[in-house]
Amino acid sequence: MRIELELAAVYVSDAQYNRNIVFDTSPQGIRLYMLYNHWGLLLLVYVFIIINLALAAFEDPALFPLPMWATLIAELICLLAFTGRLVHYARVIPRQRFWNDAKNICIIVVIMLTLVDMIIYGSMKAAGLYGVRCSRLLRPLLLVNITEGRQLRRAFRSIRNALPEIFYVFLLFIFSVLMFSLMALKLFGKRGLQTNEGNPYFTNYLEIVFDLYVLVTTANSPDVMMPAYNSNVFFAIFFIVYILVNTYIFMSVFLAVVYNNYKKYLKEEVRQLVRAKRSKMVRAFRVLQETEGAEPEGAEPTVTQARWNQLVRVVQPGITSAHRQLLWSVSDTDKKGRIGKMAFVQLADLLNIQVITLKSRPHPLKTWQPRLYDSAASRFVCRVVQHKAFTYVYDVIIMVNAVFIGLDEENPLISNVEWLFLGLYLLEILLKLYTFEPRAFFAKHQFWNWFDTIIVVSALIATAINSALRAGGGYSSRQVLDIVFILRILRLVRVMDSIKKCRSIMNTLIKIGPTILTFGQLILVVYYIFAMVGMELFKGKVTFFESDSTDPERAYCGNPLLKGSVFAGLKYCKNNFNDIVSSFILLLELTVVNQWHNILSGAERGKLFLFQFFSQLNGHKNIFLLFFFNAVSLLLTTGFTTVTHVSARIFFVLFHIVVVIIIINIFVAFVLEAFFVEY
Amino acid sequence: MRIELELAAVYVSDAQYNRNIVFDTSPQGIRLYMLYNHWGLLLLVYVFIIINLALAAFEDPALFPLPMWATLIAELICLLAFTGRLVHYARVIPRQRFWNDAKNICIIVVIMLTLVDMIIYGSMKAAGLYGVRCSRLLRPLLLVNITEGRQLRRAFRSIRNALPEIFYVFLLFIFSVLMFSLMALKLFGKRGLQTNEGNPYFTNYLEIVFDLYVLVTTANSPDVMMPAYNSNVFFAIFFIVYILVNTYIFMSVFLAVVYNNYKKYLKEEVRQLVRAKRSKMVRAFRVLQETEGAEPEGAEPTVTQARWNQLVRVVQPGITSAHRQLLWSVSDTDKKGRIGKMAFVQLADLLNIQVITLKSRPHPLKTWQPRLYDSAASRFVCRVVQHKAFTYVYDVIIMVNAVFIGLDEENPLISNVEWLFLGLYLLEILLKLYTFEPRAFFAKHQFWNWFDTIIVVSALIATAINSALRAGGGYSSRQVLDIVFILRILRLVRVMDSIKKCRSIMNTLIKIGPTILTFGQLILVVYYIFAMVGMELFKGKVTFFESDSTDPERAYCGNPLLKGSVFAGLKYCKNNFNDIVSSFILLLELTVVNQWHNILSGAERGKLFLFQFFSQLNGHKNIFLLFFFNAVSLLLTTGFTTVTHVSARIFFVLFHIVVVIIIINIFVAFVLEAFFVEY
Ligand code: NA
């Protein structure tokens, strides 16, 4: 009986959390499966994944250098943990299913490749040779496959499903760019025009293709047009048509295709989820069902209230009996003391509904000091706080506060006024706590009450620390001040909450937060892969010197080839691939698509880097990358000089295609759909 | 009877073309209304509107200067034409309806204001004073209101309906920008950082707001972040959060709101159109109906085939009797010789369906020379042309041709090879004409056949002209060569048509062409208004010198204030408001949102312009503009220096809000919806 109950409970909680794993239903199988789903183990897996990804900060090129053996051992431990998790999973589900699931094969392959790569790399390093840790590229795959990141996997599936459609639009788009480039070559190439830097304008086909590709992103508009436009007004037509077709129409079509696929796929996924959930609940029902009394046939199997109560207590041990009673009364509408399959199946959804218990409990002060709390003065205070004008007054106070924040905080008058405002905000919270029942005021769904209180209390603490520091040594910590200012300004957000329409928009935005988190993981995966490749290709090409450095190399980012370049002139030296954090920020700048041709020129100017790279490769026979670059060079067959140029461009264009055309459009589709549904 | 028929015909054609005008049903009322809808008059109205709008090219600041009296007279004639059209309209529809329609009031007001403005301007000029033609701003309103541009008016209505929703999102967005700016002021202002130009970084609140607004458009990314990022890596977080919230989330929400409203409104409009169409058809039916025979009651009124035939012949005089017969058989499914209301109402839609008559007519050559055309050799040719391989061979030829186009055309070998290719293309068309019936080959819907033939024949003519010119004087016209090249390259588009998926995408794009035209009018209206204001504010501030000019002023666009500016350095001098064409191109560059802060700096550097402007205004009491600029200056209350700065910025930011946030999003919504429906 106990085992049956546990089995049913597992089915119900699988349905509740949309898990979809087939497991062995023997008693020890069930225990193993419950252990597999234990939150502690899940957390541990996430910790190991984060450690594994974070290793990039400690490996060469490192943000915080650690000896090689330390990172290798840390990675080994992570791999062991992942293997353990996988072995656990293999013992939970039937052998056949385990080997049929691409996810598991993927994990095994990644672990094997990583091990092999670690051994090769370790021994090469030990022998004093140059080595590349290729398998670092594969780490994000573990994030996608090991965790129960269904949302993330769904997003990837959605991309994979959209790819064929996107491919054809992309084909047309690239064809269009190539045709326009050919036209540009023929129209402008022979006119002897010059770019602003004095180079010949639009004479090399591949250069034109690149320039016009960049124009799609608008990053070099209107510069790329100016030489032609300055020579003849009518040439502007070429660029206008180009931008209309490629920037506006094709980019919209990309969005349309991605959005369409996203919606189509989402619907299908939701349908499957509902079906799986139902089948789990039916299985739970079958385990617990009893046929009523002596009626032989046609009698519908049911579950008694006693059994149901036991089940709910196992599934959700913390549930209050009032809540459980409520759920039962919703299920057993006929009050028979037993429910059929139809009613039982709802349980998973019922458990997911947050029941807000809005008992009108008396205020604790009323219980404690009833005479005082019910006095005329006290009742007047409560009425004032509940009045609309109270909110308006505080809105005005917030706006006055905003003006004071804008003023110079080093003026002692103004810093004292800050105390007044803090006092007013604190008063507001205390008054509200006096008026409203505190547990209702701090209920889970009272987002803005929590927000206000946390902000005001933190601001109070931070301001106090700051004053103490200043009083102590006349010294004021910039970090603490920064926090104080951010808290003060966040407080102003409350004003917007007073406008009803704005509040509903803000609530929608808050609701789509989790979706954006999924998207954050998606972009983490893509960024991580590009960062690894970028660091391998471009590390150390560009060096950043602190502003107090007197090194003469500072003027050209430590690379003589960058002398006099736009890149150095714009002080872009910190935009480099020298560590994981810089790489991520650089990739973000590339995502925003502006100045990326200039950033790229920083990478390009290290003209010799690929030569060095090739010689290293040839020395150490890193076959995969060698093959990749040979393919690239074959593809372009325009000699080595162009390849050094072009391969850096390929990296950046590839990034643009993956991130801007696909990922950002998915994001916009996310937001569009979420907004349509929620708002 | 004749009059009844005409009335019914007018109803049917109103339903067919979605006209929705209530007219006087007296015989002369109908005649007047028919005249009002005559295509010749419609064309004339469009011509006058185009002339009226085009006057901007001849008025100061002019592209082609004309004396003031000439443009004034031309405008007067246009106004007369519009008045005539309006009077005609007033006689067609009932008086009450005329005065209730905002459209008509708008036209009358525009005409009156324009007349007054012309008189003031003319007399000021005559007196040698400075005048501003404010009413030029109103011209696009005539395009919106006078023409039967229902699509355009619908687009404007859709914008107007979306405005309240957009407003609240915009409020939140602006609030967010202001809050982030305040945070930036507090975080970075006291750190003594410097921009790349050596100015203090983020110390002036209004400057920060502008910089961060520009960052939303990504135009100054990553430059605006570099000083902070160079001083501390963690400051990058501020900009990352800012871009995520304001560029990605808010811009997506704008798209969501615009798209949502567009769809909602479109559905409502379509519903109304269908209702109006039905009621017109019911009215036409009532005019023509006869109750059958002697049956007194319950007898459904019908229309006989004879009457129906007369009606169709009036509505569409060019219709073939076969086509008419087809339409009747579709309506009269029971073959009774008379149809009821339900069947009659379909007529408007039936007439709109393009019937492609695919009669398998014999090839004219077969009729003329049957023996020759049916010979084995001739049949073999036909089979070859119809074979798939024929298409593939020509695809390969086109791709080889693409390579040759890319090569240097001054090489005589290559220019001769071009003749070969032209010959091959001509041969293809001739072979196809030999195989397929010519009238079927050149049917209306055969887009690609028409495309090929026009391109090849034009290329043949242009190449011949070019050769003749070269043979004649050894001189080769660049213009003709340009056309030849464009034609050659357009020919390559055909390759994409061979891939089925690509063809369907291209067909979708071709189908949404008309929608894009509506959008083109919309953008014309907005651009025209901004161009008029821009020309008045910024004309002559920046001068373009041809590249062969030796004028020393060329280095700084003729404005000493631009000496050493980025604007002059990037050779942006032609980006000015000196005439209507330059203005439109400049506005397009601003729409693309890149470098606009640099373009703007060109306008800003004319620091004195507003001072000049104010003195001119004060002299001549142009009250409206004076009020506008006073409001701006009051609003900002930061002294005159800032106002000269800021008012130029206001112009550009306003343009960004109107065009990029609203119009471009409407365009994307257009394309999205069209793509969802068509594809
Ligand atoms: Na840009």
Q: What is the pLDDT of residues B399-415, one digit of tens each?
A: 888 888 877 767 778 77
pLDDT at site A619 = 36
The dotted CATH code for B364-498 is 1.20.120.350
Contact (Cβ atoms closer than 8 angstroms) between residue A569 and residue A555: no
pLDDT in tens, B99-150: 988 889 999 999 999 999 999 888 888 888 877 888 888 999 888 887 666 7
A201 touches chain B (CB under 8 A): no
> Which amino acid does the sequence have at A211?
D
pLDDT exceeds cutoff 80 at B622: no
Quick: pLDDT tens for B605-619: 443 333 333 333 333
CB A633, CB A640: distance < 8 Å: yes
Q: Which residues of A touch B599 (CB under 8 A)?
A: 222
Q: What is the pLDDT of residue A319?
A: 81
Residues of chain A with C-beta less than 8 angstroms from the C-beta of B509: 249, 253
CA of B574 to the centre of ligand 1 (A): 20
Average of per-residue pLDDT across B170-185: 91
Instruction: Give the mean pLDDT of chain B.
Output: 81
**Cα distances (Å, whole numbers) of residue A431 to A377, A424, A491:** 13, 10, 18
- Summarize the confidence of residues A161-177 as an average pLDDT: 88
Alpha-carbon Rg for chain A, nearest whole angstrom, is: 32
Q: How close, in Å, is residue A177 to chain B by CA atoms?
A: 12
A243, two tokens: 């931008």
Site from A165, A204, A233, A253 to mutate, B interface, most B CB atoms within 10 angstroms: A253
The Cα–Cα gap between B392 and B378 comes to: 21
> Which tens digits make up the pLDDT trace of A30-61?
888 889 888 899 899 999 999 999 999 998 88
Residue range B214-219: mean pLDDT, rounded: 83
Determine the pLDDT at residue B358: 56
Q: Residue type at A497?
A: D
The helix (run of H) or strand (run of E) holding residue B506 is helix B500-511
- Interface check for A627 against chain B (CB to CB < 8 A): the answer is no
Three-state secondary structure readout of B463-505 = HHHHHHHHHHHCCCCHHHHHHHHHHHHHHCCHHHHCCHHHHHH
Q: How far is the CA of B276 from the centre of ligand 1 (A)?
A: 46
Separation between Cα atoms, residue A336 and residue A325, nearest integer Å? 14
Mutate to test the interface with B, among A166, A182, A400 (most CBs of B within 10 A): A182
Q: Which two tokens stand for residue B389?
A: 């391989």
Flag the least confident range among A350-359, A503-512, B1-10, B172-181: A350-359
List CB contacts of A607: < 8 A, sequence separation 6 or more: A561, A644, A645
CA atoms in the 13 A half-sphere facing the CB of A12: 28
Picking from A223, A249, A501, the nearest residue to B509 by CB comes out as A249
The whole-number average pLDDT for the span B668-676 is 81
Give the pLDDT band of residue A636 (cuts 50, 70, 90). Answer: very low
**Residue pLDDT, tens place only, A427-444:** 999 999 888 888 888 877
Q: Does residue A668 belong to the interface with chain B, where contact is any CB pair within 8 Å?
A: yes
Q: For chain A, first and last CA: distance in Å?
A: 47
When pLDDT is cut at 50, 70 and 90, the band that residue A485 belongs to is confident
- Whether residue B53 contacts residue B143, with contact meaning beta carbons closer than 8 Å, is answered with yes
- In degrees and rounded to multiples of 5, residue A132 shows phi and psi of -120, 130
Cα–Cα distance between A593 and A217 in angstroms, integer? 6
A 452-481 → B contacts, CB under 8 A: 478
Most confidently modeled range among B25-29, B32-36, B536-540:
B32-36
Query: Tokens 């209050």 appear where?
Result: A320
Interchain proximity A255–B205, CB inside 8 Å? no
Rg (CA), chain B: 32
Residue A327, C-beta contacts closer than 8 angstroms, at least 6 positions apart: A312, A347, A350, A351
Tokens of B245: 């919230």
Mutation target for A interface from B186, B403, B510: give the one with most A CBs within 10 A.
B186
Q: What is the pLDDT of residues A491-508, one digit of tens each?
A: 888 888 888 888 888 888
Q: Judge: domain B155-271, CATH 1.10.1060.
A: no
- Write phi, then psi, for A133 (nearest 5 degrees): -85, 80
pLDDT digit string, tens, across residues B409-467: 677 787 788 888 889 999 999 999 888 888 888 877 778 888 889 988 998 888 888 88
Output the CA A214–ligand 1 centroid distance in Å.
Answer: 10
Write out residues 377-406 of B within 8 Å (CB-CB) of A: 402, 405-406
Query: Residue A200: beta bridge partners?
Result: A194
Q: pLDDT confidence of B70, banded at 50, 70, 90?
A: very high
Asked if B593's CB is within 8 angstroms of A186's CB, the reply is: no
**A287 at the B interface (CB within 8 A)?**
no
Query: What residues in B contact A243, CB-CB < 8 Å?
Result: 588, 592
- What does the block give as tokens for A451? 């927000």
Contact A406 B187 (CB under 8 A): no
Interchain CB contact of A485 with B (< 8 Å)? yes
Dump pLDDT digits (tens) for B355-368. 655 556 778 888 88
* Cβ–Cβ gap B168/A256 under 8 Å: no
Buried b (16+ CB within 10 A) or exposed e, A54-74: ebbebbebebeeeebeebbeb
Residue A143 has pLDDT above 90, yes or no: no
Q: Which residues does A666 contact at the CB level (< 8 Å), separation at least 6?
A: A155, A158, A159, A258, A262, A519, A522
Among the residue ranges A601-605, B260-264, B301-305, B308-312, the one predicted with the least confidence is: A601-605
If you measure CA to CA, which chain B residue comes closest to A543? B230
| Tokens, residue A483 | 């926090």
Question: Which tokens hold the place of A191?
Answer: 């006119």
Average pLDDT over residues A460-479: 77
Question: How many Å lie between the alpha carbon of A172 and the closest alpha carbon of chain B?
Answer: 7
Q: Which residue has the higher pLDDT, B149 or A189?
A: A189
Flag whether residue B188 sits within 8 Å of chain A, measured between CB atoms: no
Pairwise CB contact (< 8 Å): A675 & B253 = yes
Beta bridge partners of A291: A301
Q: Where are chain A's structural domains?
A: 20-147, 155-271, 289-352, 364-498, 513-678
Of the residues A574, A575, A579, the best mutation for testing chain B's interface (the one with the most B CB atoms within 10 Å of its CB) is: A574
DSSP calls for B270-334: HHHHHHHHHHHHHHHHHHH-EE-TT--SSPPEEEEHHHHHHHHHHH-TT--HHHHHHHHHHH-TT
Residue type, B331: S
A100-127, pLDDT tens digit by residue? Answer: 888 899 999 999 999 999 998 888 888 8
In the block, which residue shows the tokens 């993330």? A152
Residue B263 Cα, gap to closest chain A Cα (Å): 11
Asked whether the bond before B61 is cis by omega within 30 degrees of 0, the reply is yes
More confident residue, A18 or B256: B256
A485 contact residues in B (CB cutoff 8 A): 183, 186-187
pLDDT at B617: 36
Cross-chain Cβ contact A172/B486 below 8 Å = no
Look up residue A557 and give its two tokens: 């980012």
pLDDT tier at B600 (50, 70, 90 boundaries)? low
Q: Are B210 and B649 in contact (CB under 8 A)?
A: yes
Tokens of B650: 């206001």
| Lookup: tokens for A610 | 């690929």
Q: Please state the rounded mean pLDDT for residues A559-579.
A: 76
Neighbour-count burial for A621-643, b at 16+ CB within 10 Å, e otherwise: ebeebeeebeeebeeeeeeeebb
Segment B225-237 mean pLDDT: 87
* The pLDDT of residue B623: 34
Which of B172, B504, B542 best probes binding to A when mutated, by most A CB atoms within 10 angstroms? Answer: B172
Is A594 within 8 Å of B172 when comparing Cβ atoms?
A: no
Q: Do B226 and A405 touch (CB under 8 A)?
A: no
Residues in chain A with CB shorter than 8 Å from the CB of B247 are 592
Q: Is B664 on the interface with A (CB under 8 A)?
A: yes
Distance of alpha carbon A218 from the chain centroid: 26
Who among A230, A496, A672 is closest to B574 (CB)? A230
Check: CB of residue A35 under 8 Å from CB of residue A122: no
Write the DSSP assignment of A2-51 as a string of letters.
Answer: HHHHHHHHHHHHHHHTT-------SHHHHHHHHHHT-HHHHHHHHHHHHH
pLDDT at A628: 36
C-alpha span between B666 and B661 (Å, rounded): 9
pLDDT at B78 over 70: yes
Burial A358-372 (b: 16+ CB within 10 A, else e): eeeeebebeeeeeee
